[in-house]
Structure 1
Amino acid sequence: MVKHWKSAALLLWITPALAQDSSTLTLEQAYDLSRENYPLIKQKGLVRQTADLTIDNLNKNYLPQVTVSGQATYQSAVTSVPIRVAGLDIPTLSKDQYRIQAEATQLLYDGGAVSAQKNLQQVNALVEDQRAEVDLYKVKERINQFYLGILLLDEQLKQTELVKKDIQLGIKRVTAQVDNGTAFRSNQLVLEAELLKAEQRTIELKATRKGWLDVLSLFLNQSLPENTALRMPVVRTYIMAPGINRPELKLFTYQDSLFKSQNSLISAKNRPRTSLFVQGGYARPGLDMLKNDFAWYYVAGVRLNWSLGNLYTTKKERQLLTVNQRMVDVQKDLFLLNTNTQLKQQQSELNKLEQLIVSDEQIIGLRAKVKEAANAQLENGVITANDFLREVNAEDQARLSLIAHRLQWLQAQINLETISGNQ
């Protein structure tokens, strides 16, 4: 029986009768359009651009670095030779001294600091990009809500049209009886009033549908005409979702890589740095301190820098990274627990709805027979219009219940795919 109604539902819903001039929309198209037009998608491009610019600046550290400096000083005392040697004039340095110089430095080894910073920027860009993916994935839940809500309204509109046809048939038969003098005019008026109520219901459903369609159009950034037909989604039916493939899991992986990159940067900061340098300048005095004249000079060599101050904080920094990594692990475990719980709940909901749908079909079969009997009785004047309407409404409620349960089953199946990330 379950397989029977599933097959019938697919045949009935997958290829709905659509007007030739009406536009159509699928759930997959709605996903794509919402992703393309959601403002958060722009953030992904900015994240990549920021990372590229930062990495490009870091690469500049491998280029020769040039600095220019100058100073003019006056000092209270200068170096002098207190010995007088006959025939030898030892000049006295001026107390006002001047120096302007340029220095070019070429990095030879930085302990891997630049490479670690570049890797950190790349991984951080992946983390921020994946955060945006997580938020974009949540938009699917909103799209599911609007899309399936409109489908439910469509099915309710179809059912309302069937009810109106039943009432119109009853009016036709009662009118003939009234004309023949075999029925009261009040029976006809009761049916006509019920028909007007059905018309009101159609107006309400169409207005609600238009409101939901307008909201959906905002997410898609695309105008959806009132006659837009939404195709029934085709879903896979499986017992349980084959694993979890949510973007949050990739985010947790990237965050773990980010902690490893930060740890590598801590190690790199504690290593020595070596570089080549060359200085050139014009000063008084120059390199010859015994000449009190302006002179050109240059100095070239290899420089070693090793900052030991970072060693004081290295241990605490690593401990902080370990704590943060454990927090992410806890978040991952909590996410998996909640997701698996939701999957179990959705599977239980599917099982319940499958049983309800089978029961609905049995009830409709019985209600249809009762209505047909009431139709014949109304034609023969055995029952009143109110009795006939009672049976029509009973069948209507049974069919509305089936429609609701089928849409709920479809929603539960789509939720199962969305929660597991296997869409």
Structure 2
Amino acid sequence: MKNIFIILIAMVTFSSVAQQSITLEECYRLVTENYPLAKQIQLLEDQNKLDSEVLANTKMPQLYVDAQATYQSDVIEVPIPNSNIEGLNKDQYRATLSVNQLIYNGGITDASIKVKSAQLQTKQKQVEVNLYQLKQQINQLYFSILLSQESELLLQSKKAQLQSKLSEVQSGIKHGVLLPASDKVLEAELLKIKQQSQELLSNKIVLIETLSDLVNKPLDLSTQFESPLLKVPLESQLNRPELELFQFKKEEIASSESLIAKQNAPKLLGFATGGYGNPGLNMLDNSFQTFYTVGIKLNWNVFDWNSNKKQRQSLAIHKDIIDTEAETFKLNTNIKLNQQQKEIDKIEGFILSDLEIINLRKEVLQSADSQLKNGVITSSAYITELTNLYEDENTLLKHKIQLQLAKANYNIIKGQ
């Protein structure tokens, strides 16, 4: 007895572990984490780190090695008779090591790093926007699966009702109350239900496999898809990632403006060069010598033909363009929200009508059931009324799922 109890506990535990469930919110999270495009967020981060390090390296000393050997057709000679000053060799050699150190450049390096950082934010937010747009595709798949689940349950309910009625009809035939062929109609209808069930199963498998690929998580027929409790938010403010993207684009422009403003600042560099060659710095000494030079250099573009000013004007126009894009997006999104709200209201009206129709169909079916038992109508007439009720119940089911889908899409459009 003890062993049997342990086996039962193990079976229940295995069953609870084997059957997984998933929610709509979890699908949203999985697609934003596992969709291949999501990898770009980290890749962009890594790329920006490398680019920023390259820019920061401009503050470090820059080393240059230069070596050359030349042969000249003529050289400088000293035109003084009996001076005993040897002319230079026509073959000359030189090797140098130069060091340049940036002392001041008006903050261009830091401004360039800030531009890269702003560009990173914009690119990463664009990836988020692209991932966000997948949520409506998730909605369509998820609620289609829910519809398949509920339709199967409704179909099985009809099947159970027909099987029960088939037993009653067969009993009536046996006792001579009903015609001999009355049960054949019910059996044919049961075969139709079997076909419909197979079609539902096939469609559900395709939907689940597609959703599984999209969220990159194993899902199958044993997976329980939870029905979400959705509400349409009352607040009117949009919360879409596209709005943040527009703001990041404007911040990127602001950082570019700051960089452009510093481009004409004076640049001060220190330099040092050491070398070995023939001749050295003393051109009159025709031998190999070591030498060096040190100094500072100032570079200042005093007049750039208003190029800097025009670049800033161009960025200002770009900022205005982004503002118009943001206004257009808000307008179009609010129009979609209004249309979606009208869709929700329409479906809610349909559901109220569906309930009234179903109540009437049930009364008609109840009357047909009594008439079939008494042999007043045929099985075909009864199936017609049962099918009418099933189709109306199926319509109600579709409208309920459509209402959930419409609310989910409304939330996605709004950014909730």
TM-score (norm 1): 0.88
Displacement of 1:96 in angstroms is 4.4
Q: Give the letter for the 2:379 counterpart.
A: A
- Alignment partner of 1:230 is 2:197: no
| Cα distance in 1, alignment partners of residues 295 and 16 from structure 2 | 84
Change (3 A) 1:303 1:227: same
Q: CA deviation at 1:62?
A: 1.2
Count of aligned pairs: 402
| Distance of 1:339 and 1:231 partners within structure 2 | 29
Is the aligned partner of 1:132 residue 2:127?
Answer: yes
Deviation at 1:24, TM superposition (A): 1.4
Letter in 2 for 1:68: V
Question: Which of 248, 254, 259 matches 2:248?
Answer: 254
- 5 Å-filtered alignment, 1:51-66, equals 51-66=48-63
Amino acid at match of 1:293: S
Q: Which amino acid aligns with 2:281?
A: L
- What secondary structure, in the 3-state scheme, does the structure 1 residue paired with 2:181 have? helix
* Structural mapping, 1:63-212, within 5 Å: 63-75=60-72, 82=79, 92-212=87-207
- Aligned-pair CA distance for 1:246: 1.3
CA contact (8 A) 2:186 2:383 kept: yes
Report the Cα distance in structure 2 between the residues aligned to 1:381 and 1:237, rounded to whole angstroms. Answer: 52
Question: Hey, what does 2:22 align to over in structure 1?
Answer: 25
List per-residue Cα deviations over 1:306-361 (Å, max 9, x = no partner): 34685563344334433433333332222212211111111111111112111211
Classify the secondary structure of the residue corresponding to 1:148: helix
Q: Following the alignment from structure 2 to structure 1, what is the Cα–Cα distance between the partners of residues 239 and 276? A: 67
Residue-by-residue CA offset, 1:89-108 (whole Å, 9 max, x unaligned):
66654454433221112111
Separation (CA, whole Å) in 1 of partners of 2:18 and 2:166: 33
Q: Sequence identity, in percent? A: 36
1:291 aligns with 2:285: yes
Shift of 1:408: 0.8
Instruction: Name the CA shift for 1:92/1:22 in 2 (closer, same or farther; >3 Å).
Output: closer
Partner residue in 2 for 1:6: none
Q: Deviations over 1:36-68 (max 9, x none)?
A: 321111122111111101111211111111112
Provide the C-alpha distance between the structure 2 equivalents of 1:246 and 1:69, rounded to a whole number of angstroms: 57
Corresponding residue for residue 342 of structure 2? 348
What secondary structure sits across from 1:271 in the alignment?
coil
Q: For residue 56 of structure 1, what is the amino acid of its counterpart?
A: E
Return 313-322 or 227-236, whichever deviates more. Answer: 313-322
- Which residue in the other structure is 1:264 paired with? 258
- Rounded to whole Å, the distance in 1 between the matches of 2:353 and 2:236 is 29
Deviates more, 1:375-384 or 1:342-351: 375-384
Once the two structures are TM-superposed, the CA of residue 402 in structure 1 deviates from its matched residue by 0.9
2:300 maps to which residue?
A: 306
Describe the shift of the 1:258–1:311 C-alpha distance in structure 2 as closer, same or farther (beyond 3 A): farther
**What secondary structure sits across from 2:227 in the alignment?**
coil
Q: CA deviation at 1:414?
A: 0.5
Q: 3-state SS of the aligned residue for 1:53?
A: helix
More moved, 264-273 vs 174-183: 264-273
Distance 1:238 1:66, change over 3 A: closer
AA partner of residue 56 (structure 2): N
Per-residue CA deviation, residues 112-165 of structure 1 (Å, 9 max, x unaligned), is 221122112111111111111111111211111111001011111111112122
Gaps of 5+ in 2: 1-14
**Is contact 1:269-1:310 (8 Å) kept?**
no
Q: Is the 8 A contact 1:270 1:311 kept in 2?
A: no
Cα shift readout 1:274-293 (whole Å, capped 9, x = no counterpart): 01212222233433344333
Distance 1:310 1:321, change over 3 A: same
Letter in 2 for 1:143: I
> What is the SS of the residue equivalent to 1:185?
coil
Conserved? CA contact 1:278–1:298, under 8 Å? yes
1:399 equivalent to 2:393? Answer: yes
1:36 to 33, 36, 58: 33
